[in-house]
Amino acid sequence: MLSSQVVIIGAGAAGLMCALSAAARGRQVLLLDHANKAGKKILMSGGGRCNFTNLYCEPGNFLSHNPHFCKSALARFTQWDFIALVAKHGVPYHEKKLGQLFCDNKSSDILGLLLAECDEAGVELRLATSVTTIERLPDGYRLQTSAGTLSCQSLVIATGGLSIPTLGASGFGYQVARQFGHSLLPTRAGLVPFTLTDPQLKSLCSELSGTSVEDCRVSCNGQSFVENILFTHRGLSGPAILQISSYWHPGDSIGIDLLPHLDLPAWLAEQQRERPNSELKTLLAELFTKKMGGLLAEHWFSSRPLKQYTPTQLNDIAERLANWQLVPAGTEGYRTAEVTLGGIDTREVSSKTMESLKSPGLYFIGEVLDVSGHLGGFNFQWAWASGYAAAQYV
């Protein structure tokens, strides 16, 4: 039977960071993954350029039933610590917007630096290895795997959430948590596009598929985000929609202000004075694209020369554009979601060490826990920070 001080299951963002940090402390680390490649999500992330952290990362960027849980780990391994690691490896990067840091070249630069650090620190990486059973021993854990029996003092679960099963996601971490007496909070897809079934809405979105509108304010349940929205064949996507999806529950309405930076009632009244013979659809085409202006004029308003609208009618048009209310039919689900909301209840895990309060020597890190970040590099920062925190104690 092979014995190791630390076994980490899951060679994704959190598992790799935990492995390299624990091995750098002199721990003997075995990192396992059932996939044939480490860090598949890192490679896919940020459109191939990995949005690896955010300059403005703070606890308010995370959703959890226990909002204080993430604070300690985030304070002990900050965005600046990860940026220093990126700089150490000479990986070129840039701020895209809103503090979001992306690689100049490819996501593989980030995976490459993590693997190089693991290699240098002496981490043993075993891919294409699945774990069938885990058993508690008096001084650790015994695992039956496709590569034989293993034992360890500390066992770290870093198997992530349920999003994108084709990238290796599985419910394994939840199953282990349940086995050792942990409670699970309901899981659902987060940072995910909305689908629509209302025939009129669906046809509007489908006709506009591929069109994006910059800097819309999208609101739901007391939260709002100002970012781009994107029309798709199935409904709505784009950063503002992905962000709000994490706050949305089935049946909730979302509000979209298509022009939050414009005083629309005043602007429409001014246009009516200055060019009374212009058609509404011409104005809308100037605010959006020609196609979108035409479709909104057709679906929402009957387009006439501006002089034919009463002040009340102009205000109604402004209100419709500033407060478009719609009820999504659902989301695209785990197939395209960037994260899984919910998961292992953090009230049963130490926020300092990430160790289970139910089973000594068992640790949970990354997305498998009930901590999910906003879009913009926050989810990787949580993976780095929680992985680093556990690494100090395993």
In angstroms, give the least distance from the CB of 32 to ligand FDA.
6
In angstroms, give the least distance from the CB of 389 to ligand FDA.
13
In angstroms, give the least distance from the CB of 102 to ligand FDA.
8
Structure letter (DSSP) for residue 98: T
In angstroms, give the least distance from the CB of 246 to ligand FDA.
12
| Residues near ligand FDA, by CB under 6 A | 9-15, 32-35, 40-41, 44-46, 50-51, 130-131, 158-160, 163-164, 168, 170, 172, 338-339, 366-367, 377-380, 383
Cβ–Cβ under 8 Å, residues 8 and 158: yes
Q: Which amino acid is at 7?
A: V
What is the Cα 88 distance to its own chain's centre? 26
Q: Residue for token digits 């909070």?
A: 185
In angstroms, give the least distance from the CB of 317 to ligand FDA.
38
Cβ–Cβ under 8 Å, residues 129 and 146: yes
Alpha-carbon span 102 to 36, nearest angstrom: 26
In angstroms, give the least distance from the CB of 176 to ligand FDA.
9
Cβ–Cβ under 8 Å, residues 22 and 376: no
Structure letter (DSSP) for residue 111: H
Alpha-carbon span 196 to 207, nearest angstrom: 13
Q: Residue 360: exposed, middle, or buried by beta-carbon count in 10 A (0-12, 13-18, 19+)? A: exposed
Q: Where are the alpha helices (DSSP H) in 191-344?
A: 199-207, 239-245, 264-274, 280-287, 290-299, 311-322
Question: Which C-beta is closer to ligand FDA: that of 121 or that of 287?
Answer: 121
Question: Which C-beta is closer to ligand FDA: that of 146 or that of 197?
Answer: 146
Question: Which C-beta is closer to ligand FDA: that of 27 or that of 49?
Answer: 49
Question: Which C-beta is closer to ligand FDA: that of 208 or that of 339?
Answer: 339
Judged by phi (left if over 0) then psi (alpha if -120 to 50, else beta), residue 141 lies in beta
Question: Which C-beta is closer to ligand FDA: that of 268 or that of 385?
Answer: 385
In angstroms, give the least distance from the CB of 343 to ligand FDA.
10
Report the residue number whose CB is nearest to ligand FDA.
Answer: 12
Question: Which C-beta is closer to ligand FDA: that of 131 or that of 344?
Answer: 131
In angstroms, give the least distance from the CB of 357 to ligand FDA.
20
Question: Which C-beta is closer to ligand FDA: that of 225 or that of 380?
Answer: 380
In angstroms, give the least distance from the CB of 13 to ligand FDA.
4
In angstroms, give the least distance from the CB of 126 to ligand FDA.
10
Alpha-carbon span 315 to 276, nearest angstrom: 16
Question: Which C-beta is closer to ligand FDA: that of 101 or that of 216?
Answer: 101
Phi, psi of 137, deg, nearest 5: -110, 165
Cβ–Cβ under 8 Å, residues 39 and 111: yes
With CA atoms as reference, report the closest residue to 20 among 141, 126, 161, 122: 122
Question: Which C-beta is closer to ligand FDA: that of 297 or that of 371?
Answer: 371
Q: Residue 199: exposed, middle, or buried by beta-carbon count in 10 A (0-12, 13-18, 19+)? A: exposed
Cβ–Cβ under 8 Å, residues 220 and 242: no
Beta-carbon count within 10 A of 108 CB: 15
Question: Which C-beta is closer to ligand FDA: that of 190 or that of 361?
Answer: 190
For residue 310, give the 3-state DSSP assignment.
Answer: coil
